[in-house]
Amino acid sequence: MRLAVLVLTLLVLGACSRQPIGNAQGGVVTWTLGNDTQMAAAAQAHCNHFGKAARMAQTLETGSIVFDCVHAGR
């Protein structure tokens, strides 16, 4: 339940943004950022700030992508 509330909150906030919304654990890339390649690049750029790699966790019905930031090699 808490995860669903977090994802929903991130989606609402992310809809107004042109960059991923999240923290060192991961976040959400909204469909407004472009195609799948652009969305994956945005997630990776977000995780790079924390010295981590992006791992796509889920694609939502809205077209947004939920991602995790993981240490390289995991």
Its domain, for residue 57, covers 2-70
**How many domains does the structure of the chain reveal?**
1
Q: Which residues share a beta bridge with 69? A: 54
Reported as half-sphere exposure (CB side, CA atoms, 13 A), residue 44 has a value of 7
What pLDDT digit, counting tens, does each position of 2-41 carry?
Answer: 766 666 666 555 555 568 889 999 999 987 767 888 899 9
pTM: 0.71
Give the pLDDT score at 32: 74
Give the pLDDT score at 28: 94
Distances (CA, A) of 74 to 2, 12, 36, 49, 67: 25, 29, 22, 17, 14
Q: Which amino acid is at 26?
A: G
Look at the alpha carbons of 12, 18, 21, 27 in this order and tell me if their dihedral is positive or negative.
Answer: positive
Question: Which residue is associated with the tokens 């995780």?
Answer: 47
